Structure 1
Amino acid sequence: MNETLKRTISGAVYIALLLASILFSTESFIVLFGIFLIITIYEFSNLVKLNKIFSIAFGTLLYSAIVLVGHYNKQTTAYLNNLFKSDFDLITNIQELNMVLLAVTIVIAIKCILFLFYDSVQQISISSKYLYLLGYITLPFIFIVKISFGTSDYNPKIIIGLFVLIWTNDTFAYLVGKSIGKHKLFERVSPKKTIEGFLGGVVFAALAGFLISKFYIQPNPAFSNKSILIWTIIALIVSVFGTIGDLIESKFKRIAGVKDSGSIMPGHGGILDRLDSVIFVAPIIFLFYQILYYVS
C-alpha cells in the first residue's frame, strides 16, 4: 500500500471516528478524548522521557475528575442540596476552579512559547517536563471538553466548527506554502513552514469562520453580524495559536530527534501530531468565551 493511500485511509478513519463521537452523545465525546489523552500522554512521555505509567495515571485521573464533575455539576448540586438540606453553590465553585485551571494553563503556555524561542534549550528539566505534562497536554484536553458546552449545554457544532477551522488552516497553509512559499516562517524548528503559507492559512480560516457562522451555526438573524465577528476572531486565534502549538510540538520532536510523536496513524504519525494545534488553541478559545460571556 503506497504512502498516499495509507495517509488517506487513516485520515478518513480519524475524521469519521471524531465526528461520530462528537455527534453521537456527550459521553462518547468525553470518552474518545479521554482515550486520545491517554495516547497523547504516552507519546509525549516517549518524547521527553517521562515515566509513562505515572504520567498516564495522573493525566487520566485529573481529566476524569474535572470533566465528570463539571459535566454533572447541576445534577450534583441538586443532589447535595437535597441530601444535606442546604445550599451548595457547586456551580460557582466549579467556575472558580475553571479560572484557576485556565490561569495555570496560560502561564504554562507562555512557558512553552519561551521554550520555543529559546535556542539554547536542548535538554528539559524534570520539573519542566511535568509542568508541560500538566499545562501543555492534560489541562488543554479538559478545555476542549469545556468549550464544547459554550455558555450552557453541550453543543457539538462548536467543537466541530473548531476542528474545521484547524483543518482549513493546516490544509491551506500547506497548499499555499507549497505553491508560492519562499520566506521561511521559523526554519530552525520547522523548515517547511513559510510566511506565505501561514498567511494563506489565516485568510482561508477566516473565510471558513465566516461560512461556519453563516451556514452551520445558523445564528438568530438579529445577531448574525455578531456571530460572524465572533467566528472570524476564533479563526484568527486558531490560525495564530494553532501554528504556535504546531511549532512547539516540532521543538519537542527536534530535541528528541524524531520525525513523528508516534505511529498509530499511518502516514500521519501520532495523535499528538494530529492534535498539537487544538490542544494549544483550546484554552485560548475558552478564555475568549469567558470574556464574551462577561462582556455580554
Structure 2
Amino acid sequence: MKEVIVRTISGVLYIAIVVFSMFTSREWFMVLFFFLAAITLREFLKLIHLGSYLAYFLLAAALYFLSYAVFDKNAVSLLLILSCFVNLFLFKDLLWVSKIPMFEKKKYIAVIFYLISGFVFLTLIPMHTGEFSPDYIMGVFVLIWANDTFAFVIGKTFGRHKLLERISPKKTIEGFLGGLVGSICASLLIFEYLSTHYISTIDNNALWIWISLAVIVSVFGTIGDLIQSKFKRQAGVKDSGALMPGHGGVYDRLDSIVYASPFIFAFLEVIEYVS
C-alpha cells in the first residue's frame, strides 16, 4: 500500500510539472525538457557504459539550433529521416538479434539519432504549425498516459499471451490491445474537448488525425518501451535510475515518447504539407 501511495504521489507531481510547463510559455517548456533530456541522457549513458561530456554539449546544441531557434529546416528534415531510420533499425534488432549492436559498437549513433533527436522532435511537436501551441504535445502525452494505464490494467487483468517474453515478460498481447483501445478512446475525448473550446481552429479532419496519432503513439510507444527494456536487460539493471520513487528513472517514464516523437512529428509534417 505504501509503495502504491509513493508511486501515485510521484506520478501526480511529474504530470503536474509537465502540464505546468506546457501551458506557461515556450521558454518554460524548453527549459523543463532540457533538464529532463539531460537527466535521461545521463541515465542512458550509464546504461550503455559511455562516459561523455560531449553528449551533453550535443544535446544542448541540438535543442537550441534544431528546436528552439531552427537555423535550417533542411537540417531538421535530414535529422528526421536519419532518426526514423535508426529507430527502425533498433526495432529490427529488438526482434532478430540477441544484443543491440548499437549498444556495443555504435553508441554515439544511438545517443544522437535515438535519444537526443527524440527530445528534439518532442519539443518541435508543439511548433509544427509555426507557433507554439501546447494542444498537440499535451494531447500526445495524454495518449501516452492512456495507453500505458490501459495496457497495465488490461494486461494485469486479462493478459494471457506474451507479447515479447524474452525482452519484457510482463507485457501481453491483451495489454497492448487494451492500451491501443484506451489511447483511441482518449483521442476521442481530446477531439471533443478541442472542438468545444477551440472550434475555430479545428478542421474537419481533426478527428481522424487524433485517432491516427493514438495508433502511432500506441504502436511506436510500445516499441520504444520494449527497446528500453532490452537496453536495461543488456545492462543488467531493473530501472534506468531512481529519481522518481516508485517509477524508476526519468528514462523509464519517457522511453515511449522519446522513441515515438520522430514518427509523430513526421506524421504531423505530412498532414501539414498535404493540407
Structure 1 and Structure 2 fold alike (TM over 0.5): yes
The corresponding residue for 1:121 is 99
Q: CA deviation at 1:111?
A: 1.6
The corresponding residue for 2:176 is 198
- The answer (yes or no) to whether the contact 1:109–1:280 under 8 Å persists in 2 is yes
After superposition, give the CA deviation of every residue in 1:187-226 in whole Å (9 maximum; x if it has no partner).
0000000001100111111111111012135454796541
After superposition, give the CA deviation of every residue in 1:75-114 in whole Å (9 maximum; x if it has no partner).
xxxxxxxxxxxxxxx6xxx221221110110111112112
> Which whole-Å CA distance do the structure 1 matches of 2:195 and 2:133 have between them?
10
Q: CA deviation at 1:276?
A: 0.4
The corresponding residue for 1:267 is 246
Three-state SS of the structure 2 residue aligned to 1:192 is strand
1:155 aligns with 2:143: no
Three-state SS of the structure 1 residue aligned to 2:127 is coil
Go from structure 1 to structure 2 and tell me whether the alpha carbon gap of 1:124 and 1:282 turns closer, same or farther (over 3 Å shift). closer
1:141 aligns with 2:119: yes
Paired amino acid for 2:11 = G
Three-state SS of the structure 1 residue aligned to 2:170 is strand
Three-state SS of the structure 2 residue aligned to 1:266 is coil
The corresponding residue for 2:231 is 252
- The answer (yes or no) to whether the contact 1:157–1:217 under 8 Å persists in 2 is no
**Which stretch has the larger CA shift, 240-249 or 214-223?**
214-223
Three-state SS of the structure 2 residue aligned to 1:259 is coil
Runs of 4+ more than 6 Å apart? none
- The answer (yes or no) to whether the contact 1:37–1:60 under 8 Å persists in 2 is no
- The answer (yes or no) to whether the contact 2:191–2:207 under 8 Å persists in 1 is yes
1:103 aligns with 2:75: no
Three-state SS of the structure 1 residue aligned to 2:166 is coil
- The answer (yes or no) to whether the contact 2:90–2:100 under 8 Å persists in 1 is no
The corresponding residue for 1:60 is 60
Q: CA RMSD in A?
A: 1.8
1:234 aligns with 2:207: no
Number of residue pairs matched by the alignment:
274
- The answer (yes or no) to whether the contact 1:165–1:208 under 8 Å persists in 2 is yes
Considering only CA atoms, is the larger Rg found in Structure 1 or Structure 2? 1
After superposition, give the CA deviation of every residue in 1:216-247 in whole Å (9 maximum; x if it has no partner).
35454796541110000000000100000000
> Which whole-Å CA distance do the structure 2 matches of 1:217 and 1:141 have between them?
28
The corresponding residue for 1:186 is 164
> Which whole-Å CA distance do the structure 1 matches of 2:112 and 2:14 have between them?
25
The corresponding residue for 1:276 is 255
Unaligned runs of 5+ in 1: 71-89
Go from structure 1 to structure 2 and tell me whether the alpha carbon gap of 1:223 and 1:154 turns closer, same or farther (over 3 Å shift). closer
Three-state SS of the structure 1 residue aligned to 2:245 is coil
> Which whole-Å CA distance do the structure 2 matches of 1:126 and 1:117 have between them?
17
Alignment partner for residue 213 of structure 1, among 160, 180, 191?
A: 191
Three-state SS of the structure 1 residue aligned to 2:263 is helix
Go from structure 1 to structure 2 and tell me whether the alpha carbon gap of 1:131 and 1:147 turns closer, same or farther (over 3 Å shift). same
> Which whole-Å CA distance do the structure 1 matches of 2:100 and 2:272 have between them?
41
> Which whole-Å CA distance do the structure 1 matches of 2:123 and 2:159 have between them?
35
Q: CA deviation at 1:293?
A: 1.5
> Which whole-Å CA distance do the structure 2 matches of 1:23 and 1:217 have between them?
18
> Which whole-Å CA distance do the structure 2 matches of 1:223 and 1:64 have between them?
30
Paired amino acid for 2:171 = K
> Which whole-Å CA distance do the structure 2 matches of 1:61 and 1:51 have between them?
18
> Which whole-Å CA distance do the structure 1 matches of 2:203 and 2:133 have between them?
18
Normalising by structure 2, report the TM-score.
0.94
- The answer (yes or no) to whether the contact 1:214–1:224 under 8 Å persists in 2 is no
